[in-house]
Amino acid sequence: MISPELFPRGPGWAVDFEGWERLFPALSALKGCVGDPVHHQEGDVEVHTRMVLEAMASLPAYRGLREDERRVVTMACLFHDVAKPATVQLVEDGRVRHVGHARRGTRMARRMLWEAGVPFREREQVCGLIRHHEVPLFAIERDAPMEVVVRASMTARCDLLSVVAHADALGRTCEDKARLLDNVALFRELCEEAECLDTPYPFPDDHTRVAYFQLGHRPASVRRFDDTVCEVVVMSGLPGAGKSTWVGERMRGAEVVSLDAIRRELGVLPSGDQSRVVEEARETAKGLLRAGRGYVWNATNVSRELREVAVGLALRYGARVRVVYVEAPCKRLREQNRGREAVVPDAVMERLMSRWDVPDPTEAHEVELVVGE
């Protein structure tokens, strides 16, 4: 666990960046990583991160939060740019880009905080803030700002997000700082108007939410007729988390489309080409859906892209989709993987962890979290 001493507290509200760096060596890569010369004239990404943390600790909005909320905001500010060294791109005009750093940083932080034993709920709040940390800075300038706000609210508390963005804007040297700070204030007003400042946007029901995010139905406030004909359960979780155990205990008698079983039938290794395995699973699922029958799709599905294959197929055939996410603590998961009939090699596990996205309410009618702390 992370020592409480690392989190700023009164009366001094000091920030111990070196202490964080000793605990998470990945932060050392921020030193020397260049920032964009237009938006970040203060120096490298480490300088910026330090300035953000110091600005954060000085904000009355931060100091007025509960202790658990301050922990979440602190870790979000600490890791908000952690993926910039891995995503830096130098552009011909002298500009610097860090394409996809928010999403990659979310995945990096998720793994580090999981290995550090941070509780699931707190960890995922941090990840939501990292994923959307740029939203308050620019949402008001987008073509459909309210849609940006609605999406962000599903995985991040927008009131905390505004504190992170406020500190992010203060913790830099640039010519448009006043514009960024105005944008953060306007973002809060948008959230208040949409009634999602400290809660997810209040969709009329689950089916309307899925139709909005997965099928593109607008506006969000208009209830959609629920014409689903069966339920498809899509499993998600790292190898060894306990997905098959959950299916065996909770879904007795259900049709199961198991990618592990198909691999064994086809003689395909977990490290091999999975295209034949996925195609066989899709054809089996299509047959069940055409008959109006539900099933369990049992696979790792650790990334959103992988889940969209199974979820999208089910939605196209009019199924109601429930994603069941299973997670085990770091040590237990590794032990359970070693005890599997087909142990997943370390290289495959590393690849899966680099793409690790926890399911969220934008993906399905229901997301059930089965988390062992």
Q: pLDDT per residue over 203-247, tens digit each?
A: 999 999 999 999 899 999 999 999 999 999 999 999 999 999 999
Q: Is the pLDDT of residue 340 over 80?
A: no
Residue 167, beta-bridge partner list: none
Question: What is the mean predicted confidence (pLDDT) over 178-184?
Answer: 98
Q: Is the pLDDT of residue 93 over 90?
A: no
Residue 257, beta-bridge partner list: 297
**Rounded CA separation 113/109 (Å):** 6
321: left (phi over 0), alpha (psi -120 to 50) or beta: beta
Q: Is the pLDDT of residue 341 over 80?
A: no
User: CA triplet 338, 368, 280: central angle to 5 degrees?
Assistant: 60
Of 151, 188, 169, nearest in space to 80 by CA = 169
123 vs 38, residue with greater confidence: 123
The domain segmentation of the chain, as residue ranges, is 4-193, 230-371
> 0.85 exceeded by the pTM?
yes
Unique residue bearing structure tokens 């034949």: 276
Q: Which CATH number fits domain 230-371: 3.30.710.10, 3.40.50.300, 3.40.50.2020, 3.40.470.10?
A: 3.40.50.300
pLDDT tens digits, 32-44: 998 888 889 998 9
3-state secondary structure 101-114: HHHHHHHHHHHHHH
Q: Count Cβ atoms below 10 Å from residue 29 Cβ, excluding itself.
A: 15
The least confident of 5-14, 87-96, 238-247 is: 87-96
Q: Which CATH number fits domain 4-193: 3.30.1490, 1.10.10, 1.10.3210, 3.40.50?
A: 1.10.3210
Q: Which two tokens stand for residue 37?
A: 């010369």
**Rounded CA separation 48/157 (Å):** 23
Q: Is the pLDDT of residue 4 over 90?
A: yes
